[in-house]
Structure 1
Amino acid sequence: MDGTIERTTLVREDQVPFLEYPSPRQGDLGRRQCLIFLIPGNPGLVAYYEPFMKTLRELLDEKEAKEGCGYAFHLCGRNLLGFDDADHEPAFGAAADGVPTEPFSLEEQIQWCCRQVQQANSSALGDGRVFDDVVLIGHSVGAYISLEIFNRHHQARRQHPSTPPGLLGSVKLRAGILLFPTVSHIAQSSSGQKLDLIRRTTFLDRFAHHIAKGFADLWPRWVLGAIVRRIMGFPEHAAAATLRFLGSRDGIWQALHMGKDEMRTITEEKWSEDLWEIQEAEEEEQTGLRTKFFFYFAKSDHWVADACRDEFIEKRNRHEKGRTKIVIDEENVPHAFCIHHSELMAEKVKLCIEDIAGL
């Protein structure tokens, strides 16, 4: 289905790449059906997460096969907008209605992900069924987007307790698993400082994406492939995704545009304290939910300043009613875990899911 996100850009939803790994037990009406929805980081290509999703599917299949497991877990995730040339028209920079089109902002990505969670909740099972539980996995800026989805879900339920089916407030949003999250003061990180310098330098702010794209286009594809595979050491899934990204018409512009917007937007926390709490006592009693948010931070992360991370953790620890669990990695897993550490992180996420489900 096609839809407009902004006045001059047509989004072709049926062209947005996605991954989906349904439970083989999704037809079992005796099980709680749980949607696990992945929101990628920037660049927002879900193909980077294929080994992670496949491994998590295998691990959850083993769990579902054990006696006493009353759950069926359905895994899915989609690209963020603008990272595939087929998902929007016209090209960025082209005049539409007399106005040059721009890449998608962080706010537009949040709106997009809210819609995709709603749609997956009401359509993935088929036969008009919706999921009993929805869990979000957010990586990097995907963690920030996930928290914004929870925040908007909370606001929608508070304003309209009897939200009609199909709207965000009707989704049974239970928990978030936030991996290497960039959720406050991203511009203070080492990589954030460099990107923010581009944003604050007039010439680079206007032309950095043209310079980066021109540099990528200088090299034949086989040379880029050799650099990505041999020099950078990317495995095949990550190399293929990176080459598609570098070779796309608009992907680099989308990544830089969104990244600069992250520098402007992800600063001081703006969420209310009750976001971190279980919202309704009966909800907690019915689901057995003990943790609402799992945070997994790197020991050292070039996109997360240590001081900002520590301040964030201190705030969560001070919150008496907050339901968060926070882990700081001790295994030297890097921010971009989906390149080389998919299997290890799938194991860790499986444990989070078991905790959420009480398995």
Structure 2
Amino acid sequence: MASVTRKGSALEARHLKVPSLEFPSAISEEKRQKCLVFFIPGNPGLVSYYKAFLGTLRELLNDVERRAASRFSFHIYAQNLLGFDVGDHDPFGNSPHSRPPFTLEEQVCHFYDRLVEKSTAPLLRGGTKPAYDKVIIMGHSVGACKYSLVFHRHHLELRAAKGRTNDTQTLAASVNLQAGIMLFPTVSHLAKSASGQKFEIIRTTPFLDSYAHGIAKLFIDLWPYFLLLAFIRLVMGFPHHVAGATTRFLKSRDGIWQAIHLAKDELKHITEEKWSEDLWEIADVDRLEGAADKFFFYFGEKDHWVANECRDEFIERRKDHAKGRTTVVIDEDKIPHAFCIHHSEKVAEKVIVWIDEIAKT
């Protein structure tokens, strides 16, 4: 479990817990290289939505590890976004003495700090090598956008470290961020998507901008917990673990406010593609050595959170960028954006192919 707090607009460590999921490898052979698969959820940012997906991925990774030629053991780590659990923050409020919900930038800063902390824990304890030989970041939906911003920040940290010293043994340089896997990514112009247009009305209407979360919370509070759970489970047809996660989220103290606040902030900032051009060329030297692709994108065929024209423009730019290493796939199996509800196993079977490919390089 990780710990965070915020002083003003900054994040600081404190003894408040952020829910997480871990699926470690059962193999402890010293000769094996260790690979961290670091997962960032979408919005609502609850890792409990992804328990079936990550559990299936763990089983598939076990098969990979059992191969005679396998050189790696894999550790899966996933963590809530901030603000979705009462244990990771004080109550939200609008007064000068209370905190507002967490922003997109704060989520990115926290996840990057958590990634570095998780990867370099042995160094912080006086060891000589990081915890993992390779790191793969995987994100879903806006979690994929957060991944891109985390990767960008890591790239900038490495540059800054080079500017300060010739010693590469800084914490940032010790994180071997090998590749990224982005599932149904909201890469640009979120407000142009079908669902984004609806949320944009909330963001740009003063009354709704101020009170939408309160109205939604009042409506949900009219439902007894057991009745809401039954409705989500039986009428909406959600599996048991997803229905439970959704009900807990809706009935939580601040979950609805955090989700709506973050969605509005995402609409504001996920506009033009943020990545600098040189980031797409970051692995050019590795490419010459025959390494695997650096970035893997899995888009939905019809995604209500991704405008088709924005997706297609993004794909065209990747084609034109000959030096970059990307694999782009558009779903042909009619898997929806919220794959973690009914299609966890199918997506895990697609992801394992990429992880296996990355690990072999």
Q: TM-score range by the shorter chain?
A: over 0.9
Show the counterpart of 1:332: 334
Alignment of structure 1 residues 214-293 onto 2, 5 Å: 214-279=218-283, 281=285, 283=286, 288-293=290-295
Show the counterpart of 1:210: 214
Alignment of structure 1 residues 74-113 onto 2, 5 Å: 74-89=75-90, 91-93=91-93, 95=95, 98-113=96-111
Letter in 1 for 2:218: G
Letter in 2 for 1:108: E
Q: Cα RMSD (Å) of the superposition?
A: 2.1
Once residues 285 and 180 of structure 1 are traced to their aligned partners in structure 2, the CA distance between those partners, rounded to angstroms, is: 29
Once residues 40 and 119 of structure 1 are traced to their aligned partners in structure 2, the CA distance between those partners, rounded to angstroms, is: 19
- Quick check: 293-302 or 122-131, which moved more? 122-131
Kindly tell me the number of residue pairs found equivalent between the two proteins: 353
Show the counterpart of 1:298: 300
Letter in 2 for 1:82: G
Once residues 157 and 109 of structure 1 are traced to their aligned partners in structure 2, the CA distance between those partners, rounded to angstroms, is: 20
Letter in 2 for 1:31: R
Once residues 36 and 15 of structure 2 are traced to their aligned partners in structure 1, the CA distance between those partners, rounded to angstroms, is: 20
Letter in 1 for 2:120: S
The SS at the match of 2:77 is strand
Partner deviation per Cα, 1:153-186 (whole Å, 9 max, x = no partner): 1111122135775733431101000000001000
CA spacing shift, 1:351–1:225, aligned 2, 3 Å: same
- Quick check: 50-59 or 268-277, which moved more? 268-277
CA spacing shift, 1:85–1:106, aligned 2, 3 Å: same
Letter in 1 for 2:311: R
Contact 1:154 1:169 in 2 (8 A): no
The SS at the match of 1:33 is strand
Q: 1:345 aligns with which of 330, 343, 347?
A: 347
Once residues 234 and 17 of structure 1 are traced to their aligned partners in structure 2, the CA distance between those partners, rounded to angstroms, is: 22
Contact 1:189 1:304 in 2 (8 A): yes
Contact 2:120 2:174 in 1 (8 A): no
CA spacing shift, 1:163–1:175, aligned 2, 3 Å: farther
The SS at the match of 1:301 is coil
The SS at the match of 1:73 is strand
Once residues 285 and 323 of structure 1 are traced to their aligned partners in structure 2, the CA distance between those partners, rounded to angstroms, is: 11
The SS at the match of 2:345 is helix
- Per-residue deviation at 1:194? 0.5
Using structure 1 for the length normalisation, give the TM-score: 0.93
CA spacing shift, 1:178–1:186, aligned 2, 3 Å: same
- Per-residue deviation at 1:234? 0.6
Once residues 356 and 318 of structure 1 are traced to their aligned partners in structure 2, the CA distance between those partners, rounded to angstroms, is: 23
Show the counterpart of 1:23: 25
CA spacing shift, 1:230–1:224, aligned 2, 3 Å: same
Letter in 2 for 1:334: P
Show the counterpart of 1:154: 155
Gaps of 5+ in 1: none
Alignment of structure 1 residues 121-200 onto 2, 5 Å: 121-123=119-121, 128=127, 129-161=130-162, 162=166, 167-200=171-204
Once residues 13 and 241 of structure 2 are traced to their aligned partners in structure 1, the CA distance between those partners, rounded to angstroms, is: 26
Letter in 2 for 1:321: K
Letter in 2 for 1:244: R
The SS at the match of 1:187 is helix
- Quick check: 105-114 or 153-162, which moved more? 153-162
The SS at the match of 1:312 is helix
- Quick check: 319-328 or 267-276, which moved more? 267-276
Once residues 10 and 290 of structure 1 are traced to their aligned partners in structure 2, the CA distance between those partners, rounded to angstroms, is: 36
Gaps of 5+ in 2: none
Using structure 2 for the length normalisation, give the TM-score: 0.92
Show the counterpart of 2:314: 312
CA spacing shift, 1:262–1:140, aligned 2, 3 Å: same
- Per-residue deviation at 1:354? 1.2
Contact 1:38 1:136 in 2 (8 A): yes
Contact 1:289 1:357 in 2 (8 A): no
Contact 2:182 2:297 in 1 (8 A): yes
Once residues 268 and 170 of structure 1 are traced to their aligned partners in structure 2, the CA distance between those partners, rounded to angstroms, is: 31
Once residues 25 and 300 of structure 2 are traced to their aligned partners in structure 1, the CA distance between those partners, rounded to angstroms, is: 30
Once residues 251 and 117 of structure 2 are traced to their aligned partners in structure 1, the CA distance between those partners, rounded to angstroms, is: 30
Once residues 87 and 3 of structure 1 are traced to their aligned partners in structure 2, the CA distance between those partners, rounded to angstroms, is: 6
Once residues 10 and 167 of structure 1 are traced to their aligned partners in structure 2, the CA distance between those partners, rounded to angstroms, is: 18
Once residues 147 and 307 of structure 2 are traced to their aligned partners in structure 1, the CA distance between those partners, rounded to angstroms, is: 20
